Amino acid sequence: MYAAFNSGKRFTYQELGKSGAQWTDPVHPHLSFEMDWEDDLFSSLKDWSDGFNDLENWLNLNALVAISSSLETFMAMIIDLALESDVGVVYGLPRKIDGIEILKNGKENPFDHSEAIQACTKGDWTARLASYKRCFGRCPKYLQGKISELERIRKLRNSVAHAFGRDISESRKKGELTTLPMERLPRASFHKLQSVVWRSAKAIDAHLNQFHIGEYQALNFYHGIYSELNKKVHPSQRAVELKKRLGRHGDIPPGKEFCKGLVQFYEAL
């Protein structure tokens, strides 16, 4: 959606340039509106362009809300996976208790990490990273070095989500007749913050997958389909079925030997 908007913006201004449009021109010779009264909103093309730039700023702010929310959703998912896989980290014993064995042989729905997940995804980023360290002993260096940028993203997200991109406390003052100006987020600044979010997600992904998750996700997947598989055939047949089903969900098809080993490991628990 963001890319579609930017390509549309470039096209619109290019066409206005080709037509010889001037900032002082009225809008109606160059642009059409769905409602007649919309033409009267703008005194000139410059006035319309100012409104268009405000729209772009609004889009930048809401795009930031979307990627910030996506980061929190991703963190909640992957932290839950890591805690399920490496249950011992809760007790300061990483890689000592295999979560898949608990999942297979323990009670139904054995894990509830909602409090830990909330502590890592809510509040300011200093508190979030402190909670992350309590869970896993350390946190990625990249996040520690980007606390100020992550805090800016969090505060902008809250102001957009709760006060339409304006200061929350000021916006809620009673008896105020003026509309407060929105926060400004130029496109270049948005892309810098977008990069921080992307690299934060990559750093968390690399850390938790390498040290705490491993192949738990694939084992968890096999656990979910195991009850419907034919137990009378050789395990290699179940490995073939696992390979087929895993191939529908990942960007890299799993290998035959990997699936055989996974089936052997799970069924031996």
Each residue's pLDDT tens digit in the chain (269 positions)?
Answer: 989 999 999 999 999 999 999 999 999 889 999 998 998 899 999 999 999 999 999 999 999 999 999 999 999 999 999 999 999 998 888 989 999 999 999 888 889 999 999 999 999 999 999 999 999 999 999 999 999 999 999 999 998 987 665 555 555 555 554 545 789 999 999 999 999 999 999 999 999 999 999 999 999 999 999 999 999 999 999 999 999 999 888 768 789 999 999 999 999 99
| Residues 103 and 207 placed together within one structural domain of the fold | yes
Q: Are residues 205 and 103 in the same domain?
A: yes
Do residues 134 and 153 share a domain?
yes
pTM of the predicted model, to two decimals?
0.86
Residues 204 and 115 in one domain: yes
Say whether both 56 and 142 belong to one domain: yes
- Note whether 123 and 238 are same-domain residues: no
| Number of independent structural domains in the chain | 2
Same domain, 239 and 160: no
Residues 231 and 115 both lie in one domain: no
Model pLDDT, residue 109: 84
Q: Could you give the C-alpha distances from 181 to 2, 55, 159, 163, 266, in angstroms and in order?
A: 23, 13, 12, 11, 58
| Same domain assignment for residues 141 and 264 | no
Do 164 and 48 belong together in one domain? Answer: yes
Domain end position, chosen among 214, 232, 261: 214
3-state DSSP assignment of residue 98: strand
Q: Which domain holds residue 113?
A: 44-214
Helices (H), 42-136: 45-85, 99-105, 114-121, 125-136
Distance CA(96)–CA(227), nearest Å, equals 27
Tell whether 4 is covered by a domain: no
Residues 115 and 105 in one domain: yes
